[in-house]
Structures are given as structure tokens and as C-alpha cells.
Amino acid sequence: MPHKRKGMLLVVSGPSGAGKGTLCKRLLAADANFCFSVSATTRGPRAGEQHGADYHFLTEEVFQARVDAGEFLECAMVHGHRYGTPRREVLAMLDAGRDVLLDIDPQGARSVAAAMRDCVTVFILPPSFEALEKRLRHRGTEEEAEIARRLANGRRELDQLCSYQYAIINDAVDEATAQLLAVVTAERLRTVRFFPQIPQNL
Amino acid sequence: MPHKRKGMLLVVSGPSGAGKGTLCKRLLAADANFCFSVSATTRGPRAGEQHGADYHFLTEEVFQARVDAGEFLECAMVHGHRYGTPRREVLAMLDAGRDVLLDIDPQGARSVAAAMRDCVTVFILPPSFEALEKRLRHRGTEEEAEIARRLANGRRELDQLCSYQYAIINDAVDEATAQLLAVVTAERLRTVRFFPQIPQNL
């Protein structure tokens, strides 16, 4: 990769339980030029989640102070908790030529797409609503009311599918991963991103 | 694939000698949903080329009659010979849900892109001008004046790179093939093409 290339901002979103977290982990493992932007949230950590790796877990007060200081590229209230994407971190990685992956909810995705016009947006779909419900229950981290709320949100979010550039049905995770990698490969070949890469002898 | 899906029109173009013919053959071999639109031309067949498979080889008179009858989606004069893409054949394949591959020169690609707004356009680049010249000579099918003409055209055509959606440098043919396949996979995941594929239970 030439040094002057500006990075690509890849926004992966979709209903809670569609499996976007798994796909994002697979992408990061497969592609060394990608780095993950760690979001901030006011929700508590799930089992196994680490502060600074999965999320920056913040109190309401600290989160609000960062909002007031304009430190988030986007922030949104999802399922009763607040989430935000740290602006400075994302822009610095893009300027350094790294590709940046955001795993964010549809509200946040909409805000980022409006703020960063050349980002790539991918919506991850569950194979069916039954599968979505099963996955949310199987995770076992949410209470019944939370699951019902996430399912209702999921139905609404599907209506926004057309505002994304790409959609991937996450039925078989290997196939969905291959599709996400193909989107990344193709987007790197777009002529709008391509010009700094043309060899000097052409 | 659901039956109602409309096919994708993939236009592969680039300077003569960049190797787009080889990449197109690889794509057709790898992807059963693609069919190749056989162009018409007034030039004579090269060694091994078959009428009806590689090109429809037509006389000037027959070619002109088809132009007059509006039977070409585009036609262009390239390197002193005429080339045309049969309209009815392409539209019928797309309507039947087949993806259609056009391997055409940059002039023709521009006309098709103007006429078929949702087509996908890919420009194939040689790794360098030296490589382009070497390939044209190695082919051994053209005379010196023809090679010089193709090289001069090639330099002009590179200026049009930005009017294509994707660009692929054909240095190692396996890698370039994988990139072309990734473009196809990604384009099939575009939400604008995606809606007929959403499962009914979502």
C-alpha cells in the first residue's frame, strides 16, 4: 500500500443479534490493514467484554462530558443505553492510511454516513426473524423485556436497508465473512480510491 | 437466485493488450450465472478465433445494415475496425436474470455506460507501459504500425480511468481474476440489486 492512500471507513451495522460482531472479528483477523474503532458506551460489560478492547465503558457523566466536548463522530441512544464513536481516533487512523471498521447500530450508522460521505456502509441481516430471536435468547445476556425491545427495533431497522450500500445475509458465517471480504476488496479497487495507487510508469 | 432478479451488466474494458480477454474467460469459467455477449466486428479473425463464439465476423455491408436497423447497443470504430454489441441479445439475457459480461473497448464502454445506467464498469490496467508493449508484440498477431497505434490509444484511454467504477491492475493474472470476482460478489450484495432477494419471512 502506498503511504499517501487515505484509509477507507467501513460501517457495519444491522439489527442486534444479526451477528455483525462475529463478522467484524473475522474481518479484522483476515485483513491487517483494518483497525477497529472502539466505541464508548454507558451500558455495562457483558461476560468476557473488556474495557478498551470491546468498548470504552463510561459512566453517564463522563459520556455526557465527551458529548459536550464534541469528541464523538456520532452518538446514539440504543436499547436505553448510549453509544458513541470517538472522532479523533477514527480520523487519525484514516489519515494514516489505515482502514477503519465501525461496528455500530443503525442510528449511529446513519449519522456517520451523513458526516463521512465516502464511507462504505454494510447492513448485516439475519436469515430470518426466527433466527434473530433464537440468537438473542441463545446469547443469554439479556432479559426478556430487552429481547422483545431488540426484536421490535430489528423490524424497524430492516426498513432502512435501502439506505445502506451493501447487504449481507448472515446465514452461514463463513460465506458471510467471504462476502464482507469481497466488499472490502472491491471497494479498494474503486477508481475514486485508486488514483494514488497508479504506478508512476503509467 | 430468485427468478425475478434482473441480471447485472458488467462492462470490462481497458487498453488493448492489458489482458482483459483472459480475465473475462476466467470469470466466465468461475461463475455460472454469467454469460458472454458476443460482439460483432468487421475485422478479420485472429488465429483460433471462432465466428459466433469470439465474435460475429461481419462484412462492412452487413455491419452497416445492422447499425441502420438499430440492432447495436453501442458500436465504435477501434484501430480502424468496427465493433458492435447486439442490443436484443443483451437485454433478453438481463431480463432472464442472467448476468451479462461485455468485453469491449473504452469507446464502446462509454456508450454502454451512458445507455445502461446501472451497469458495472471495470477498467483493466497493464502493470506498466513496457508490459503492455511486450504483450502486444508477444501476441504476434499485429503488424508494427498496428502495435504503435494501439499503444498510442492506450495512453489516451488511461486518462479515462476515472469514468470507470473499478480499476484492476493485471500484473499477476490469478490475483487480478480474484479481484474481478470480488467486484462481482460485492456488486451482487448492493442493496439496489438486493431487494428481490430478501427472504419472505423477514
* pLDDT of the residue at B140: 67
pLDDT band at residue A154, thresholds of 50, 70 and 90? Answer: confident
Distance from CA of A90 to the nearest CA of B (A): 25
Q: What is the mean pLDDT of each run of 10 residues along chain B (202 residues)?
A: 72 88 95 93 93 94 96 90 93 94 90 91 87 76 77 75 92 96 96 63 48
- Which of B5, B165, B166 to probe by mutation at the A interface, max A CB count within 10 Å? B166
SS (H, E, C) chain B: CCCCCCCCEEEEECCCCCCHHHHHHHHHHHCCCEEECCEEECCCCCCCCCECCCEEECCHHHHHHHHHCCCEEEEEEECCEEEEEEHHHHHHHHHCCCEEEEECCHHHHHHHHHHCCCCEEEEEECCCHHHHHHHHHHHCCCCHHHHHHHHHHHHHHHCCHHHCCEEEECCCHHHHHHHHHHHHHHHHCEHHHHHHHCCCCC
Domains assigned to chain A: 4-195 (3.40.50.300)
pLDDT in tens, A96-136: 999 999 998 888 899 999 989 889 999 999 887 777 777 77
- Mean residue pLDDT of chain A comes to 87
Does A165 sit within 8 Å of B191, measured CB to CB? yes
Does A186 sit within 8 Å of B182, measured CB to CB? yes
pLDDT in tens, B166-193: 999 999 999 999 999 999 999 999 998 7
* pLDDT of the residue at B1: 41
Chain A residue numbers with beta carbons less than 8 Å from the beta carbon of B194 are 161, 167
The grid coordinates of residue B65 equal 445494415
Q: Higher confidence at residue A101 or residue A2?
A: A101
Q: For residues A6 and A196, what is the distance between their CA atoms, to the nearest angstrom?
A: 9
